[in-house]
Amino acid sequence: MTGYWRSMYGRCLLLLLPVLLSVSLAACGGAVPAATTSDAPAAGDTAAQPAADTGGLKEVPRNRTFKLMRGGVSGQHADYELWNPYAIGANHQNGANIMYEPLAFYSAFADKEYLWLAESYSYNEDSTELTIKTRQGITWSDGEPFSAEDVAYTFTALKELGSQVRWGVNVQQFVESAEAIDESTVLVKFIVPAPRFFDFVSYKYDIGVYIVPKHIYEGQDWTTFKDFDLAKGWPVTTGPFQLVASSPEQKIYDRRDTWWAAEQGLAPMPQMERIVQLPDAQEQQEAQSLITNEIDTGFTLAPETFATIFAQNEKITTHAGRQAPYGYLDWWPVSMYVNTTIPPFDNPDVRWALSLFINREQVVEVGWSGANTISRLPMPPYPPLERYFNAVDDLLTEYDTSEFNPEKAGALLEKAGYTKNADGMWVDAAGETLKFEVFVLDFLNGMGMTVVQQLKDQGIDVTPSNPVDFNDRFTKGDYQAAFYGHGGSVNDPYATLNLYTSSSEHVPGAHQANFPLWSNPEYDKIVDEVYVTPMDDYEKLEGLFHDAMAIWLPELPDIPLTELYHRIGYNETYWTNWPIGEDAYVNGASWHLTFLMVLWNLEAVEP
Mean per-residue pLDDT over the chain, rounded = 91
Going by C-beta distance under 8 Å and a sequence separation of 6 or more, which residues neighbour residue 584? 1, 5, 109, 110, 319, 328
Residue 506 has a pLDDT of: 77
* pLDDT exceeds cutoff 60 at 188: yes
Q: What are phi and psi of 229, to 5 degrees?
A: -160, 95
Q: What are phi and psi of 302, to 5 degrees?
A: -70, 150
Residue 567, SS3? Answer: coil
Which tens digits make up the pLDDT trace of 223-282? 999 999 999 999 999 999 999 999 999 999 999 999 999 999 999 999 999 999 999 999
Distance CA 181, CA 136 (A): 15
Q: Are 9 and 323 in contact (CB under 8 A)?
A: no
* pLDDT exceeds cutoff 60 at 498: yes
In the CATH scheme, what is the homologous superfamily, with its name and number, of domain 104-217? Dipeptide-binding Protein; Domain 1 (3.90.76.10)
Q: What are phi and psi of 569, to 5 degrees?
A: -75, 130
Distance CA 499, CA 489 (A): 10
Q: Which of 287, 373, 353, 342 is nearest to 480 (CA)?
A: 342
What count of residues does the chain have? 607
Q: Are 16 and 373 in contact (CB under 8 A)?
A: yes
Distance CA 540, CA 506 (A): 30
Q: State mean pLDDT over 398-419.
A: 98
* pLDDT exceeds cutoff 80 at 480: yes
Residue 405 has a pLDDT of: 98
Q: Are strands 112-115 and 104-107 parallel, antiparallel or unpaired?
A: antiparallel
Above pLDDT 70, what percent of the chain?
A: 91
Bridge partner residues of 178 (DSSP):
188
For 190-228, b where at least 16 C-beta lie within 10 A, e where not — what string?
Answer: beebbbbbbbbbbbbbbbbbbbbbbebbeebebeebbbb
Region for 146 from its dihedrals, namely left if φ exceeds 0, alpha if ψ lies in -120 to 50, beta otherwise: beta
* pLDDT exceeds cutoff 50 at 293: yes
Q: How far apart are the first and last CA of the chain?
A: 27
Q: State mean pLDDT over 466-481.
A: 93
Q: Where are the beta strands (DSSP E) in 549-597?
A: 558-562, 565-566, 568-571, 575-576
What is the CATH number assigned to the segment(s) 333-563?
3.10.105.10
* pLDDT exceeds cutoff 90 at 521: yes
Going by C-beta distance under 8 Å and a sequence separation of 6 or more, which residues neighbour residue 221? none
Distance CA 403, CA 413 (A): 16
Query: Domain coordinates of the chain in residue numbers?
Result: 64-78+226-322+572-604, 104-217, 333-563
Looking at CATH, the fold of the domain delimited by 64-78+226-322+572-604 is given as D-Maltodextrin-Binding Protein; domain 2 (3.40.190)
Position 356, amino acid: L
Write down the pTM of the prediction: 0.89
Q: State mean pLDDT over 363-367.
A: 96
Residue 507 has a pLDDT of: 77
How far apart, in Å, are the Cα atoms of 110 and each of 6, 128, 490?
10, 29, 12
Q: CA torsion 357→362→363→368, rounded to 10°?
A: 180
Q: State mean pLDDT over 466-470.
A: 93
Distance CA 101, CA 116 (A): 8
Vertex 100, ends 96 and 106: CA angle to 5°? 105
Q: State mean pLDDT over 184-193.
A: 98
Q: Within a 10 A sphere around the Cβ of 583, how many other Cβ atoms?
A: 12
Distance CA 183, CA 187 (A): 12
* pLDDT exceeds cutoff 70 at 8: no
Q: Within a 10 A sphere around the Cβ of 408, how many other Cβ atoms?
A: 13
More confident residue, 49 or 392: 392
How far apart, in Å, are the Cα atoms of 53 and each of 249, 274, 354?
10, 16, 52
